[in-house]
Amino acid sequence: MEIAIIAHDGKKAEMVQFLNEHKTILNDKNIHLIATGTTGTKTEKAGFEVIKLLSGPYGGDAQIAARVAEGETNMVIFFRDPLEKHPHEPDIFMLMRLCDVYNVPLATNPATAELLIKAL
């Protein structure tokens, strides 16, 4: 199972905390993490194996969206900062739309992510 993780700058620490709280589940051999650039770097520093893609503003969100459309990514955990403007909003909306189109579970906050992880 491939899980994509993304976090806006103001949510990266929260993402790392979330991952650490669910380390046992996420370190399972059958779960592979992919992440956008900086989120991936912070995830690696926390001790997780992760495939890093481009940073979100440089196409990382679009890369994950493509993996969703290709059937590679099975779940997306995207801790968004809804109070900030982001220059790559079109890519973010495309990713969210493709998760809906391809029926891929998408969590945009820790409460929803918690439910998805517990369902594993």
Residues acting as catalytic residues: 61
Residue 34, Cβ density class (10 Å: 0-12 exposed, 13-18 middle, ≥19 buried)? buried
Ramachandran quadrant class, 18 (left: phi over 0; alpha: psi -120 to 50; beta: rest): alpha
CB atoms within 10 A of CB 70: 9
